[in-house]
Amino acid sequence: MANSSNSDVIVIGAGVVGCSLAYHLAGANARVTVFDKGGICAGMSARSGALVRMHYTFAPEVELAWKSLGYFSNWGEMIGGECGFVRTGFALVVGGENTARIRRNVAMMKQIGVEVELCDAAQLRSMDHCLNIDDIALAAYEPQSGYADPVATTNSLAEAAERRQVRFRLNTQVEKTLVEGGRAAGVRMANGAEFSGGAVCIAAGPWADALLAPLGVQIGIKPERAQVAFFHRSPALSHLSYIDCISGSYFRPHGAGLTLAGLGEWRPATEPDPDNFREANDREFIEEVGRRLAHRIPALQDAPYARGHAGVYDVSPDSRAVLGKVPGIDGLFVAAGFSGTGFKTSPAVGAAMAELILKGRSSIVDISPFAFERILNRCLIRTESEYVIGTGFGHSL
Ligand SMILES: Cc1cc2nc3c(=O)[nH]c(=O)nc-3n(C[C@H](O)[C@H](O)[C@H](O)COP(=O)(O)OP(=O)(O)OC[C@H]3O[C@@H](n4cnc5c(N)ncnc54)[C@H](O)[C@@H]3O)c2cc1C
């Protein structure tokens, strides 16, 4: 090979997942090089709504979110620097059609050890006086959840990784993974330069399938354009963070004077190109998400629009991440297909993937249920307590 990076592990992608993985790998004394075609946090991490909640219907995802909350809550001591975590409290609210599901999911979360309580509408209203509870049957309340700053989080992980001697090669596009004798041996750049590595992990968000395709295997990622909008809010009005399964939307405070509101895939048109998509909000999205926000928090009726943006979700066939070895190629791993929910789990995903790559199995959380084989064998993850969610939310929970 023309160049030798002498890396034990090459990570493709310097988003929140790649930076977390690099940090954890280096913590186990691996020599790591991270390649990104842009800068640190050049991809979808920068566009994240960055809601940090524990509520999922699939127990291994709850475990990843719960373990990650430990990092967000103690960032300075565990990683160093700032992640901008703000504990707002969080509630997932449902109507009558989902009450059996929310009961089962809360019971499952409690078994894992998550601090979560089932509340009726009146109990929720006593915690959040500005809430319209007319159509709420039940809520799952998490006092410890909130949101973080996705750019600060990713930069902080990258800086912590650099302190552990991780090398970042930025503005350097990987063209393909090199395979020798059935084993990943390194990467080739678009300019022809080659770098060797003992293992390679693709953490390239919605670009992951483009890197897998030349190897004859793909996750089947569907890119979906998703939008969030920020509305002005009087600092005197405070509210919790929410996933509203009734209207199919989510809201959270953003600092003292803004509220972020989001929908997932909203009136999808053609499949977006993650390198070239409309980054501004659509006018009809602003109207619709504003309407849903005002329904839940009537005091935000006519709240002025401040700003907003779109990003691209990397939606896998079952709306869950693919974490593990790429079948048929030793030493090649993938962590992608997060389907619009990969920010909050990134600290634990990086730790678990590092263990898997270096030791062959993960102990912080058993991530074997997310293995690539399930996609190839069409054994997709489905839970009995998947919510029926209003249109536009964008992914399952
Ligand atoms: C609008 C929106 C709202 C969201 N809200 C939430 C939320 O509230 N909570 C939550 O948990 N998650 C949320 N998510 C999802 C979350 O942000 C993502 O799952 C997470 O950021 C994915 O991180 P990543 O590192 O996998 O991907 P990315 O951040 O996209 O990083 C991938 C990197 O790979 C690089 N790359 C790609 N191809 C190559 C190549 N060939 N060579 C070199 N580098 C390459 C890219 O430049 C990029 O930097 C949201 C996402 C969006 C878009």
pLDDT digit string, tens, across residues 61-111 = 999 999 999 999 999 999 999 999 999 999 999 999 999 999 999 999 999
Residue 77 sits in the same domain as residue 117: no
Pocket test for ligand 1, best of 35, 68, 343, 397 (most atoms within 8 A of CB): 343
Regions of the chain where pLDDT drops below 50: 2
Q: Which residues contact 48 (CB under 8 A, 6 or more apart)?
A: 16, 150, 311, 343
The sign of the CA dihedral 215, 217, 221, 223 is: positive
CA 113 to chain centre: 21
Residue 56 sits in the same domain as residue 125: no
Distances (CA, A) of 214 to 103, 132, 220, 264: 45, 52, 14, 30
Residue 15 sits in the same domain as residue 115: no
Say if residues 174 and 37 touch (Cβ distance below 8 Å): yes
For 336-393, write each residue's pLDDT tens digit. 999 999 999 999 999 999 999 999 999 999 999 999 999 999 999 999 899 988 777 7
Residue 252 sits in the same domain as residue 334: no
Q: Which residues contact 182 (CB under 8 A, 6 or more apart)?
A: 328, 329, 330
Residue 191 sits in the same domain as residue 159: yes
Pocket test for ligand 1, best of 11, 36, 260, 393 (most atoms within 8 A of CB): 36
Centre of ligand 1 from the C-alpha of residue 341, in Å: 10
Centre of ligand 1 from the C-alpha of residue 146, in Å: 19
Among the candidates 314, 336, 366, a domain finishes at: 314
Residue 307 sits in the same domain as residue 229: yes
- What pLDDT, on a 0 to 100 scale, did the predictor assign at position 2? 46
CATH of the domain at 48: 3.50.50.60
Pocket test for ligand 1, best of 48, 191, 341, 344 (most atoms within 8 A of CB): 48
Residue 292 sits in the same domain as residue 228: yes
Angle between helix 16-27 and helix 150-163 axes, rounded to 10 deg = 30
DSSP string for 100-162: HHHHHHHHHHHHHT---EEEEHHHHHHH-TT---TT--EEEEETT-EE--HHHHHHHHHHHHH
Identify the domain containing residue 371 by its residue range: 1-86+144-219+316-397
Among the candidates 314, 344, 370, a domain finishes at: 314
337 touches ligand 1 (CB under 6 Å): no
Ligand 1, atom 31, residue with closest C-alpha: 15
Residue 192 sits in the same domain as residue 60: yes
User: pTM higher than 0.95, yes or no?
Assistant: yes
Centre of ligand 1 from the C-alpha of residue 157, in Å: 14
350 touches ligand 1 (CB under 6 Å): no
Residue 75 sits in the same domain as residue 159: yes
- What pLDDT, on a 0 to 100 scale, did the predictor assign at position 126? 96
Centre of ligand 1 from the C-alpha of residue 336, in Å: 9
Residue 98 sits in the same domain as residue 238: yes
- What pLDDT, on a 0 to 100 scale, did the predictor assign at position 176? 95
- What pLDDT, on a 0 to 100 scale, did the predictor assign at position 4? 54
Residue 104 sits in the same domain as residue 40: no
168 touches ligand 1 (CB under 6 Å): no
Among the candidates 276, 291, 314, a domain finishes at: 314
Q: What tokens does 37 get?
A: 């075609």
Residue 108 sits in the same domain as residue 197: no
CATH of the domain at 247: 3.30.9.10
- What pLDDT, on a 0 to 100 scale, did the predictor assign at position 5? 58
Domain total in the chain: 2
